[in-house]
Amino acid sequence: MKMLINVPETVVADALRGIAAAHPELTVDVENRVVTRRDAPVAGKVGLVSGGGSGHEPLHAGFVGPGMLSAACPGEVFTSPVPDQMLRAAAAVDSGAGVLFVVKNYTGDVLNFEMAAELADDEGIQVAQVIVDDDVAVSDSTFTAGRRGTGATLFVEKIAGALADEGAPLERVAAVARQVNGASRSFGVALGAVTTPAKGSPTFDLPAGELELGIGIHGEPGRERRSMMTSGEIADFAVNAVLEDLRPTGPVLALVNGMGATPLLELYGFNAEVHRVLSERGVPVARTLVGNYVTSLDMAGCSVTLCQVDEELLRLWDAPVRTAALRWGC
């Protein structure tokens, strides 16, 4: 497979150097692999720290900035960052108001963030954690005990980040982050396999003419394989899978997310089908976000995330944000 890289061993460091060159508003520690807001720590503000394996860009480094994350810790491709990274990030953004760790529910991430929280406590840094586990496709999978954390991570980081920027205390920021996670569900579909730099070839076999329903963001197996379906048929399956579990009674945020290799032309067409299904099911859509936000390197496919919102959550979603990958109201 052709890749725009030097060698697999330096792909993460090279990307971090590129982020630093493009975004002077960020502080990028390439050696220790921590990306922070340049103005951190902000006096009186709860710090938000997240992270995970590289390969899901712009998650998480692309979401560091005012109105969202204070810091991000990128690991190796599809590999959890280590506790030392998380501790450095927490120390860099802690103003004395505490730090919230936003953790996707993958075993390595959960264990390492828990260890980092213990280390931070030893350093006198107050830490709370929220585990994101929004994927309805499977209950247990490769890398995971319980549901996987996927697209709802963006909703949690944006809404909790807005609240933290308003000066809310750690307990309130953590509670709202958990509320958002509890109100969110996701479902993903793969049209093609993912290729990691180290392997240089697809990590699983998905024959031509087939798709996988319920795929994870690392190429984990989904619910089932079927012959290729139309955009409308995929939307019917994915949205109904989410609604069967979420059962919203009010308006929702909708994220129509590309997995890395699906062009916007297709994603916008798929978004039209997602809105059709939601309209047919009587679910009002308050806001929609379409694009590549929680990706899986070069995987072809998409995911749908819905989050039921009230007036307060919608206000926090609409609040200004200024990051490399998400910005409005600034």
Burial of residue 261 (number of CB atoms within 10 Å: 0-12, 13-18, 19+): middle
CA 217 to CA 56: how far, in whole Å?
8
Alpha-carbon separation of residue 68 from 54, 156, 164, 181 (angstroms): 19, 9, 8, 16
Give the chain's length. 330
- Catalytic-role residue among 23, 56, 60, 275: 56
DSSP conformation class of 31: T
DSSP character string of 192-234: S--B-TTT-SBSS---TTEEEET--TTS---SEEEE---HHHH
What 3-state class would DSSP assign to 48?
strand
Residue 218 is among the residues annotated as catalytic for this protein: yes
CA–CA dist 34, 166 (Å, integer): 24
Contact 149, 103 (CB under 8 A): yes
Residues tagged active-site: 56, 218
